[in-house]
Structure 1
């Protein structure tokens, strides 16, 4: 009996942490700035747990009934939390208030659970054993949840179904508790009926979660959603309308098939075509294979692609429409795909390259921002052969002017000479890139055949900036002070307000 009670502690601890992780991850997906979202959600959750623990002192009678009732309430609120947040983001302006309301309610319920359970156990065990065992299993449950969440739940179930699964577990604990505490439950039949009802509701929600999520997501995008994937790192969404295929990562547009060639030709060819004979090319990010497609236009070039997300490279290696778009670039025998963190891979690798393409997401959070620091660029510089260069996608010099020039200054402080340039991409507007190296640069006299947009004559013009996009005083981005993330977030928030 005591073993069953301690397993109950483990399960409710795991459930509580899963709801917190779901809220933090979902807020990061939809709002960005993962550090801010997780910090405020963890703080709110812990504070609410304290409130729940304090409130438990006012419960004097019917402890077992209260415990079962609280389990059912946290099962419903926590289980449906992700679904409610998706719907709120899609259809209302109340996402943030609902987010913190749900986190607060779950925290209060979880804060009530453990004190009540400890009081129920005090007649069975000595107080010191109650405290030691309850806290031990509480921490074990938290550990299990923290491992399951990124490795199993997010990749295979997604946010909505993960929350609902643990809601089902909470409701099952409530039903199980009506048996464990049957002698202390005068209203046992009513609580059992309530537990079965909540279980049925959550199971139905689990079965329909993907449909609900798809419906909510469809309203978030202008075009019909044709494919969704969850990975440990991001939510991948593809939309399609009249031949225009668009990729969104965590809600942010990555490309439109109608004009992506402008972006990728401008990213790769001004720098790579200037190299007399590129043999080894490194691409960091760019798991869609579109930058790799452009590199493969150079007959002697072999490509190493390093992208964190295996789901991205798998999707763009197998999906029929994706293969059509990238020309099967990731399947080429000249391409080696490595799924790893770019920072860590560079730190561990001794390979050198003639050219590097840094096609990473915008620095909207600190996890990505570390790949835009002086430390990262110095590390990448060590992997360039003599005369080698790199190009960095650098957000918009029009809409994120401070961020763009901060990237340029960061490259300069990493010991590199820089040549910033920009191009107009209809889906994005003005977009910026920065070439960097330790030698000299001259615009190429010729470009590969078959380009749809860029010409050798047009390359020189890309390096000219109008007055409203020219260099401004900024700070460099450092690993211990990621000012770039703050620049970027501040500028894009002004655009979207």
Structure 2
């Protein structure tokens, strides 16, 4: 049966008047807006995840929850878009303006409020959620604006092509350009300015915006000025936030692709913080580093080569250079900004005795996890001075998969030493590291030293099971120690191997690459002391 033809002059879609078709250049303007907003949207998500990992730790958990909240909120925004009626272009410009303000000011607000807001996570997820809702509104509104200008398949193809290309660009420039060169605050504000710029450009280019161009133009100009002031004053914003976070004067701070470096100073000491966690105090770091290096080196009078993994501050290398028979020290640290700082800053080169510029020392900026798989050098000692296993990217360096790569790098009779967090405050974490080394085929001698800035701190000497382990117990025979040590001597060595009941061994799981149980132990152990 054939449907009757409509009356003459009546369209089959006569329920609504046809929309005015946009000229092709204006279609491309809207598609270019898709590209910009996709880039901005992903940047806001990455900034929130990175900032949360800096301030709260455990990057995997933070990125996972941030991404989940952000995507869920985008879904809410997409759902809400069906209730938006009227002048869609006007609504889209309003949304762009709000995205620019909320997303642009998110990083400055979170940095400043971290020390002042009791429920920081609520503030974090609220900002992420609001940004996600606004970003979720953008694409549906644009598609509705363009629906009468393009066929459905062409509309979907073009919009999502520009959306995904923008996401790719964001994922590339964020770690390579934005974090190392602009930092999180300036990056956040810059992309807020881009969103506001899109709103202003569309407002100026489309003739149908004339009835409200003056009022909305004023809002765009004010928003742009506010963001511009924040961009110019980003360093002051960060300094203000860090002054509240750190009790001493911040003398250096830098975002790198891998971490946030902060140096503080008072009348008595300098302190280094990585992602907000104290790494050393100049007052007592010698205790930590002497305990890390000399118990192992005292049994290696013929050693010639040492590999240091981590330790980009050069302080462990300083202790190794006390042994004149060493011919080569290779230091592998992931972050070039870290090693550069401790090679060039005069206060820091004084502290590490200019160790990283010594002719015996070779510095390599690489991922230790990959380095040990390709290195063919044989070493007498491997010193592992990694940060604590507070996240999965570091936890892999304490896993059986990593430890099993190391015996082939050791000469016969060689050994290694691992910094292993506190056996008092992180008791399960400490013994998990010991048991993981044993599961990887090492014989172990755990020990500890008192460092006032940290409390009791733990280490593990490890020997391949095929190697020769010293006959004497760890608590005896000091061996040969270099002159000038301020902490380690025969008496302190004798005390290091003694574990009182509150630090005694207890059963733990082994830290394997696929479970990372050590990260969970670390969070639970240290969470009790916060």
TM-score bucket (shorter structure): over 0.9
Q: 1:93-112 alignment to 2 at 5 Å?
A: 93-112=118-137
Is the CA contact 1:65–1:185 (under 8 Å) kept in the aligned structure 2?
no
Once the two structures are TM-superposed, the CA of residue 149 in structure 1 deviates from its matched residue by 0.7
Secondary structure of the 2:198 match is helix
2:424 is the counterpart of 1:398: yes
Q: 1:259-338 alignment to 2 at 5 Å?
A: 259-301=284-326, 302-338=328-364
Gapped regions of structure 2 (runs ≥ 5):
1-24
Match of 2:173 in 1: 148
Match of 1:72 in 2: 97
Once the two structures are TM-superposed, the CA of residue 185 in structure 1 deviates from its matched residue by 5.3
2:65 is the counterpart of 1:36: no
Aligned pair partner of 1:476 in 510, 520, 529: 510
Q: 1:356-371 alignment to 2 at 5 Å?
A: 356-371=382-397
Once the two structures are TM-superposed, the CA of residue 4 in structure 1 deviates from its matched residue by 2.4
Is the CA contact 1:164–1:205 (under 8 Å) kept in the aligned structure 2?
yes
Aligned pair partner of 1:19 in 32, 44, 47: 44
Once the two structures are TM-superposed, the CA of residue 94 in structure 1 deviates from its matched residue by 2.7
Is the CA contact 1:377–1:411 (under 8 Å) kept in the aligned structure 2?
yes
Aligned-residue Cα RMSD (Å) equals 1.0
Match of 1:254 in 2: 279
Once the two structures are TM-superposed, the CA of residue 123 in structure 1 deviates from its matched residue by 2.6
Q: Distance in 2 between matches of 1:30 and 1:356?
A: 31
2:378 is the counterpart of 1:349: no
Q: Distance in 2 between matches of 1:72 and 1:407?
A: 51
Match of 2:406 in 1: 380
Q: Distance in 1 between matches of 2:266 and 2:135?
A: 45
Match of 1:210 in 2: 235
Once the two structures are TM-superposed, the CA of residue 108 in structure 1 deviates from its matched residue by 0.5
Bigger Rg, structure 1 or 2: 2
Is the CA contact 1:171–1:199 (under 8 Å) kept in the aligned structure 2?
yes
Q: Distance in 2 between matches of 1:279 and 1:6?
A: 63
Match of 2:4 in 1: none
Which deviations, in whole Å up to 9, do the C-alpha atoms of 1:102-121 show, x marking residues without a partner?
11111100110001011111
Single out whichever of 202-211 and 456-465 deviates more from structure 2. 456-465
Q: Which runs of 4+ in 1 moved over 4 A?
A: none
Match of 2:182 in 1: 157
Which deviations, in whole Å up to 9, do the C-alpha atoms of 1:286-330 show, x marking residues without a partner?
000000000111112110000000000000000010000000000
Match of 1:125 in 2: 150
Is the CA contact 1:446–1:456 (under 8 Å) kept in the aligned structure 2?
no
Q: Distance in 1 between matches of 2:483 and 2:149?
A: 81
Q: Distance in 1 between matches of 2:525 and 2:445?
A: 23
Q: Distance in 1 between matches of 2:59 and 2:426?
A: 20
2:142 is the counterpart of 1:139: no
Is the CA contact 1:64–1:185 (under 8 Å) kept in the aligned structure 2?
no
Match of 1:491 in 2: 525
Secondary structure of the 1:96 match is helix
Aligned pair partner of 1:340 in 355, 363, 366: 366
Once the two structures are TM-superposed, the CA of residue 87 in structure 1 deviates from its matched residue by 1.3
Once the two structures are TM-superposed, the CA of residue 128 in structure 1 deviates from its matched residue by 1.4
Q: Distance in 2 between matches of 1:127 and 1:6?
A: 15
Which deviations, in whole Å up to 9, do the C-alpha atoms of 1:406-459 show, x marking residues without a partner?
000000000000000000000000000000012213554220111111113321
Is the CA contact 2:381–2:414 (under 8 Å) kept in the aligned structure 1?
yes
Q: Distance in 1 between matches of 2:395 and 2:233?
A: 37
Which deviations, in whole Å up to 9, do the C-alpha atoms of 1:119-152 show, x marking residues without a partner?
1112322221111011001011011001111111
Q: Distance in 2 between matches of 1:48 and 1:185?
A: 32
2:32 is the counterpart of 1:7: yes
Is the CA contact 1:226–1:239 (under 8 Å) kept in the aligned structure 2?
yes
Number of aligned pairs?
Answer: 496
Once the two structures are TM-superposed, the CA of residue 350 in structure 1 deviates from its matched residue by 1.5
Secondary structure of the 1:157 match is helix
Match of 2:17 in 1: none
Match of 2:12 in 1: none
Aligned pair partner of 1:451 in 473, 485, 490: 485
Once the two structures are TM-superposed, the CA of residue 3 in structure 1 deviates from its matched residue by 2.6
TM-score in terms of structure 2 length? 0.92
Which deviations, in whole Å up to 9, do the C-alpha atoms of 1:191-241 show, x marking residues without a partner?
122111111110001111110111111111111111111110111000111
